[in-house]
Amino acid sequence: MHRALIVLTLAASSVFAGPYIPAGDLVLRHDIQRLADHGLIKGPTSTWPLAWGPILDDIRNTDATTLPPGVADALVRVRQRAGWETRSDELTFNAKVGGADNATRIRSFQDTPRGKIEVSVGAAWIGDWFSMDLNVQGVDSDQDDHEFRADDSMIGVVLGNWSIAASTQQRWWGPGWDGSLILGNNARPFPSLTIDRVFTDRIRSKWLSWLGPWDLSVMFGQLEKERVVPNAQFFGIRFNFRPIPSLEIGVSRTAQWCGDGRPCDAGTFFDLLIGQDNRGGSIDIDNEPGNQLAGLDFRWSPTFIEIPVSFYGQFIGEDEAGGFPSRYVGQVGFEGSGFALDRWSYRYFAEVMSTSCDFWKSDEIFNCAYNHSIYQTGYRFRSRSIGHGADNDTRLLSAGLILVDTVDTQWRGLVRFGDLNRGGAPDGRNTLTATAQEIFSIDVSHSRVFSFGVIDIGAGFEQIDDDASGSSSTDARLYLQWRTSY
């Protein structure tokens, strides 16, 4: 099977103005991570969108017949996907139709319909230094009254080893599978100017070569008008590197700043950039630069354990003290992967998170994370958290399973239970619930490839116990999605 498929060739040149792989495809991420854990992909893999260029450069001459079956299986699927998505000097088209009865309130990495009905069409073109991927959607959603959108689009150019793009692509920063504490795909993507390193080669300087392969992503985004501070801007920067093949480290920083009635000059941005934004001295409520988050994440795959397992964590500070992040929220997880029955490539994971500040202390701080006294809409975009989908003051345990066979038939499962908005007093800023609730949910989804496209179907169940009223409720959800490209 693998020897027959290995004859697939890559229809892509060595350098691209794109394309980038946006967050949202759980199985493609699983396959890429499998190749990285085996040492075939050298660069970082926890900053999405990922560039196809360095991935193709790493796997171009790999002989799948020398690999373990599960790794060879992943290599074939990644090559097939890359060969389709990196066709150069050719106009390609895509279409997607989906709908959901009671769309999920907490989104994980997997892209599922956001509304009752979604219809999307798009076109893409890739050249040596220029690329575009333009998509438009019509959406009927209870969560957002914008019926027409241009999400998941980008127009970009390459200058040297840097890609500069106008983008509404979905982004994900960090190693978590069910959520990112600082930037995930729970909220819709907002329009941004992005600057990304394309190839992730190590620095040749003897002083910095220890960093290993590294990546850098910078974004300047525009938030919506319907906020307490209308038209606030968003700044984000992420640097991640692999000093040794088994360890990836990421450093992230984001900020909300500017907006109607707030200072937007270069001096304000400089103060924000160097972290001089706490009140005191020359900083007061009138010139406070913004609302910042910053922190560290890691993913470690110990080589002394024979089976492929990894440990990961993310720790994001909601405040600043002494020039460093403070009042951390946190997430830790464990994952493993393998190949079973000569057919199924699998990954399992379990992660626990808390979005209460100083989450490890007995006197953790509520109503702190994702909130701010000036930017009172908080760290949110169109009524969804920009960070973890469970929003602030949540403690949540998640466990998931991914199965994909040699012909790309997929099964995905996710179980969650925990406590939402544990702050006690009603807090209307939380996008899920104003009062404390206990949650249990389970979701199962399946996708299959047909000659006419890919069909993706999912079903879920959720039980909510409300602490304030003492009431209990249950709800079911279902989605169906078809997509194709040509």
Instruction: Give percent of the chain above pLDDT 90.
Output: 80
The more confidently predicted of residues 359 and 17 is 359
Residue type, 309: V
**Residue 246 — φ and ψ, nearest 5°?**
-90, 0
- Cβ atoms of 48 and 111 closer than 8 Å: no
Q: φ, ψ for residue 37 (rounded to 5)?
A: -65, -30
CA separation for the pair 274, 295 (Å, rounded): 15
Q: What is the pLDDT of residues 403-449, one digit of tens each?
A: 999 888 999 999 999 999 998 778 888 999 999 999 999 999 999 99
Is 163 within 8 Å of 51 (Cβ atoms)? yes
- Is the alpha carbon torsion for 189, 194, 198, 201 positive or negative? negative
Share of the chain above pLDDT 70, in %: 95
pLDDT computed for residue 262 by the predictor: 96
Q: Is 263 helix (H, G, I), strand (E, B) or coil?
A: coil
Which class for 209: exposed (0-12), middle (13-18), buried (19 or more C-beta within 10 A)? exposed
Crossing angle of helices 26-37 and 52-59, in 10° steps, is 50
Q: Torsions phi, psi of 267, nearest 5?
A: -65, -40
User: Alpha-carbon torsion 211, 213, 216, 217, what sign?
Assistant: negative
User: What's the whole-model pTM score?
Assistant: 0.93
13 pLDDT above the threshold of 50: no
128 and 88 Cβ atoms separated by less than 8 Å: yes
Confidence category of residue 1, pLDDT binned at 50, 70, 90:
very low
Average pLDDT over residues 207-234: 97
Q: Residue 347 is part of which domain span?
A: 2-485
Residue 147 burial (10 A CB sphere; 0-12, 13-18, 19+): exposed
Whole-angstrom Cα distance, residue 318 to residue 60?
42
Q: Which helix (H) or strand (E) holds 404?
A: strand 395-404
Where residue 281 falls among pLDDT bands split at 50, 70, 90?
Answer: low
Distance (Å, rounded) from C-alpha 198 to C-alpha 200?
6
pLDDT averaged over every residue in the chain: 92
293-313 pLDDT, tens digit each = 999 999 999 988 888 999 999
Q: What is the CATH number of the domain that holds 199?
A: 2.40.160.130
Question: What is the separation of C-alpha 348 from the centre of its chain, rounded to a whole number of angstroms?
Answer: 18
pLDDT at 18: 53
d(CA 194, CA 446): 33
Structure confidence at residue 10 (pLDDT): 31
Residue 240 pLDDT > 80: yes
- Which tens digits make up the pLDDT trace of 65-108? 899 999 999 999 999 999 889 988 899 999 999 999 999 999 99
Query: Residue with structure tokens 């993310």?
Result: 314
Give the confidence band of 47 by pLDDT, cuts at 50, 70, 90. Answer: very high
Look at the chain and report how many structural domains it folds into: 1
Would you state the pLDDT for residue 301? 96
Q: Hey, what are 337's tokens? A: 């992967």
